[in-house]
Structures are given as structure tokens and as C-alpha cells.
Amino acid sequence: MAGNIIPAIATTNAIISGIIVLQALHLLRKSYQALRNVHVQFRPNLPLSTITTSGPNRFCGVCRDTYAELPCDTSRTTLREVVEGILGGGENSDSPMREVSVYEDKRVLYDPDWDDNMERTLDDLNVTRGKFLSVVDEDGEYETIQVGIGALPPDHPSDGPAFVLPSPLPSPPKKAKPPVPSPEPQTPEKSMSKKRAAPDDDELPVAKRAKTNGTSSHTDVPFTPKKQRKLDEDGLILVESLDEKLNEDDVIVID
């Protein structure tokens, strides 16, 4: 058995790597609808099974954000150019720029009341290639824009602009309100047993107790209809008081 471990690991790695390459080809072709989740099964006649990928969820903390890539020269691009370019507003635009805050991971780089970093380059702010700038709407009306910092293409002219804006510009949707769960209707539980239910104790006639004049020191023993039914099944007779007499037919004398 020990000699089969190494070949099994190599075979499994080859299967998984082949599946990853096939899915990567869909990404390179931008055929996102063709992506599949592949699962390995223990069925010899069907070793692999595939299911379609789920669409983005508007209430997911990752899926609800709008993503955009910004190829740029971080040594020449300022934070103001990034924010105004992504939002499509600013001094050179007729439309006013909405109020936002800019974060890099957990660092606050800009908000409407603090703009000291707006004229600094991305290199000065330690925002390098591969990092993300989060543009968060101050009013909480629109979703967040995640701007990925990338490198300029190799054929980009050296005297060209310091950054290339994505086309079209990212347009974040308005935040969706979470759906209110509707109350589930309550249905009475029905018994699935086919046995006939025994009669309820409340439906049985309750035996009357004998009247006393208040001078007797004897206390009647309380009994329930269930106990009465048990005595009847055993052929016993319950005497309610000491003065009660039994018929001769009900008494069996044993010598």
C-alpha cells in the first residue's frame, strides 16, 4: 500500500491542474458563462461532475462592489487624478463630484473634511501595483468602487499620460435593501400513525363520590377515569365508600 501513495498524489495533482487550466482558458477568452465548478466523485462510471457557477449576490460583501482596473505610473499619478478620473467629475467637468472617502485597506487616504493627500502621488502614499483603492460613497447611497492599481501596457509612450482610465467608467449601482423575510404559515401537525387513538380521559364518565355527613373519618381515595378504565380491564371493582354493598353476582367466594 505504501508504494501506491506517491503515484496517487501525482495522478491527483495532474487531474486538478488539468481542470484548473481548462477553466483558466474560459477566463482568457472572457467566456464567464462557460465557467464550471468541478467536483471529483467516488463513482467509477462518473468520476467528475460539474455545476454552473452562481451569479453575484447583491448582498455579499465582495460581490456587491464594483471593480475597475487603473493602469498607471504610480510615480506620476496623484490621488486627486485617480479620484476625479474614476468618478468622472472635478474641476474640468460640468457635473459635480459626489462626496466620497478613499481607503487603502484600512488606511484613510481622503475624506471630504481631510484632503491633505490629494496632491501626493501614489508612490508617496505607498499605493503600488497590485493594491486596491476603495472609493466609498459618503451618503451610503451607492456601492463601493474597488480600483485595482496596475502597470501601463508595454507599448505605452513614455511621454504619454500617467494613467489610462477604464472605458467605460465604473458605474456603481445603488445599494439594495435586504429583503424582509415573510413569516411562514403555521400548519397544525398531523399524526402519521395509523393506530386508532385511545379515547381521551376527559370523555370518560367520571364516577360520583358517595355523600358523607361529615362525621366519617374515612377519606375517599381519589381516582381518575384512566384508573377506572384500567380496573375494568382487569375485572376489578372499585368501592367508593365503606358503606357500599356489592351484589352477590359480583362477588366470588373462595373456600
Q: Which domains does the chain have, with CATH numbers?
A: 2-52 (no CATH), 66-150 (3.10.290.20)
pLDDT the model gives residue 92: 55
* Segments of the chain with pLDDT less than 50: 216-219
pLDDT the model gives residue 176: 78
Conformation bin of residue 145: beta by default, left when phi > 0, alpha when psi is -120 to 50:
beta
Please check whether residue 172 is in contact with residue 144, taking contact to mean a CB–CB distance below 8 angstroms: yes
pLDDT the model gives residue 219: 47
pLDDT the model gives residue 44: 84
0.95 exceeded by the pTM?
A: no
Rounded CA separation 227/224 (Å): 5
Conformation bin of residue 119: beta by default, left when phi > 0, alpha when psi is -120 to 50:
alpha
* Four-CA torsion 120, 93, 130, 60, nearest 10 degrees: 120
